[in-house]
Chain A
């Protein structure tokens, strides 16, 4: 390739662009773009070509090269303008969840870019309490607490007052989601013994017996794991529960290979990306900010409608289970909720509705929204303590 596009050393415009390319690449990386050495090398080739002289030619070329996903595609223009044309960049925020490297990126990429914004600055506030448990994935130190754990599993999340206990509950929720995933996979492997014949191998082995296939070789096919979509009600009436479920969701998104998560209160928010943050406490903090609804009430029907219209096509396949975590108190019309539940039911494999209130004494699902949704639910289960979450696992394994 290099034979065609040679790198001129005496090209003025190219030289200028080249000297600032490293800063641009760093800028993109700070914004979560996937840019490696080979991309930088190819960018140099582009600059060496006839494109370096005009921005209108350089932009689409860089765009095709550096973007890797729809979100990159949308943000590219802002970042490009800010860096090369010196326009302000207000809306570009750091979303990848990496620790901020703002100071270095600002200093280095600022060589000659007068009004560069702060691309590396995260939209996150560090909270004191989040720092203490930096390593939730570390499994050690839990076993000593077995006896407290036992009782904790049965305690209604409402009644956990002690922050330490709450933290313990969070960790349990997260571990549970992880174990669930691991067990699901193992089970599938053991269960299937291939019904299909592997012709390639069978014939290979039949040569020794003169073409008579004495020894049949089967093909073992592993089932693809379940895809899980979680919709969590983050409204006021659920506030006592939502922090635990956020933690549970974080574990689920992290460990199911294919999982998507949404929050809803008066509207629906897609939170999978935020949940992919490795540090659980930090992810949950970010979530909590998103969970703060605007105004009161819960619009389950409307949120589901948004989901069906905009997200369902993308996130739901035939082996998707949808898990809705809500108390069913809907301030919208029950008919609307029923319609959307029907539409959702047609698309996905199973709908699981977890309702923390089932765990309360003498509760019956009388909320109008709950009534409307009931006919479309495959599993209606309590979710007020960790034990009830654990009880879900065998069901998920059967789907």
Chain B
């Protein structure tokens, strides 16, 4: 029965996924497009792993835009518990209601204050109570505790939530679940098995250039290629913090902003704007003008 809800949505053909993602400004490779397509046809969550800054979170955003549905995000952190992720009661209102009905029959007061009106939805509950299946992004699931992970596994297989005071709430629609992990902790085998898997890598020069062109419509093709090549070269340097795709976009926007058409035309400007990419003092001291020039030399 639950599956039938998903079926009411149109199943997007696989070949169309890449194009429709590109239309939202996300340039996906074939593997990712396949994984996103399988998510729907098999009804499994998708686990994305990869270094920080490769654009894992962006995948969820693009998927939501592509499907024209809501994105509900749960950011995990150490100590995240079910209360914060699932639901909470509105304590202030409950206290007021109890005070206002002082002297009433205790059972009726209890029924009142544990009703829908006093329930605060948190991301997980919200995600299964939407009319139209949303995209649920469970970000950095490796930061949450093992206990929470086990609970998540249960939710992801049943898609129903039991609230002791209210009873069981079944899903109105099954969300598209995307989990991301940075690998700070080893995830359980059970969770890994439950999910489809995709390892996100830094885009190659060609794809990064296409990302730049999709996001910054005003940029020249040649400049986009140069920037992508330069960032690719910087990533190969042993920096403490490898610049991500978002940083590339910032840098490209800065270069476009100062009206640069060719990186070789003004190496000084290139060096001065590197702060968009290089973000620790140590890395900054390593990226001297000489290093910048050497890397620029590699860029066609």
Write the residues of chain A forming the contact surface with B, with a CB cutoff of 8 angstroms: 1, 3-5, 34-36, 38-39, 42, 45-46, 49-50, 57, 60-61, 63-65, 67-70, 72-73, 199-200, 203, 206-208, 210-211, 221, 224, 257-258, 309, 314, 317
Contact = CB atoms under 8 A, between A and B. Distances in A.
B238 A309 contact: yes
A199 to B, nearest CB: 5
B189 interface: yes
- Most chain B C-beta atoms within 10 Å of own C-beta, residue among A4, A34, A68, A258: A68
Contacts of A3: 3, 7
- Most chain B C-beta atoms within 10 Å of own C-beta, residue among A45, A73, A258: A73
Contacts of A67: 197, 199
Contacts of B44: 42
Contacts of A68: 47, 189, 192-193, 195, 197
Contact of A39 (B98, B113, B193): B193
A321 B292 CA distance: 37
B197 A5 contact: no
Contacts of A207: 98, 106, 109-110, 113
B199 A46 contact: no
A317 B185 CA distance: 9
B43 A34 contact: no
B189 A1 contact: no
B121 interface: no
B151 interface: no
B68 interface: no
B185 to A, nearest CB: 6
B89 A203 contact: yes
Nearest to A71: B199
Interface string B149-185: 0000000000000000000000000000000001111
A200 B42 CA distance: 38
B258 interface: no
A50 B34 CA distance: 12
Contacts of A1: 3, 6, 41-43
Interface in B78-123: 78-79, 83, 88-89, 91, 94-95, 98-99, 102-103, 106, 109-110, 113
Given A34-B193, A60-B31, A5 B41 contact: yes
B220 interface: no
A244 B189 CA distance: 30
B250 interface: no
B30 A60 contact: yes
23 contacts: A1-B43, A4-B7, A4-B41, A34-B193, A35-B193, A39-B193, A45-B42, A46-B42, A61-B38, A64-B31, A64-B46, A64-B198, A67-B199, A69-B49, A70-B49, A70-B199, A199-B91, A203-B89, A210-B99, A210-B103, A258-B185, A258-B186, A309-B238
Contacts of A309: 238
Contacts of A211: 95, 98-99, 102
A65 B193 contact: no
Given A36-B193, A203-B91, A224-B145, A65 B41 contact: no
A224 B184 CA distance: 14
A105 B88 CA distance: 52
A34 B38 contact: no
Nearest to B191: A68
A298 to B, nearest CB: 22
B41 A45 contact: yes
B197 A4 contact: no
A376 to B, nearest CB: 16
Contacts of A42: 42, 44
Nearest to A221: B79
Interface in B21-75: 30-31, 34-35, 38, 41-44, 46-47, 49
A208 B198 CA distance: 52
B196 interface: yes
Contact of A73 (B94, B102, B106, B197): B197
Contacts of B34: 57, 60-61, 63-64
Q: Sort A-B residue pairs by CB-CB distance and give the 7 closest, nearest first.
A: A211-B98, A68-B192, A60-B34, A64-B35, A73-B199, A67-B197, A60-B31
B19 interface: no
Contacts of B192: 34, 68-69
A3 B43 CA distance: 13
Contacts of A200: 83, 88-89, 91
B11 interface: yes
Given A1-B3, A63-B34, A200-B88, 16 more contacts: A1-B42, A1-B43, A46-B42, A64-B35, A64-B196, A64-B197, A65-B38, A68-B197, A69-B49, A70-B199, A73-B197, A73-B199, A207-B113, A211-B102, A221-B79, A224-B145
Contacts of B262: none
A73 B47 CA distance: 12
B146 interface: yes
B78 A224 contact: yes
A207 B118 CA distance: 15
A64 to B, nearest CB: 4
B184 A317 contact: yes
Contacts of A65: 38, 42, 196-197
Nearest to A213: B95
B152 to A, nearest CB: 16
Interface in B237-251: 238
A207 B113 CA distance: 10
B151 to A, nearest CB: 16
A281 B288 CA distance: 51
A343 to B, nearest CB: 8
Contacts of B197: 63-65, 67-69, 72-73
A49 B15 CA distance: 13
A60 B35 contact: yes
- Most chain B C-beta atoms within 10 Å of own C-beta, residue among A45, A60, A203: A60
A377 B99 CA distance: 58
B63 to A, nearest CB: 14
Nearest to B79: A221
Nearest to B95: A211
Nearest to A72: B197
A64 B42 CA distance: 11
Contacts of B91: 199-200, 203
Nearest to B52: A313
A39 B197 CA distance: 12
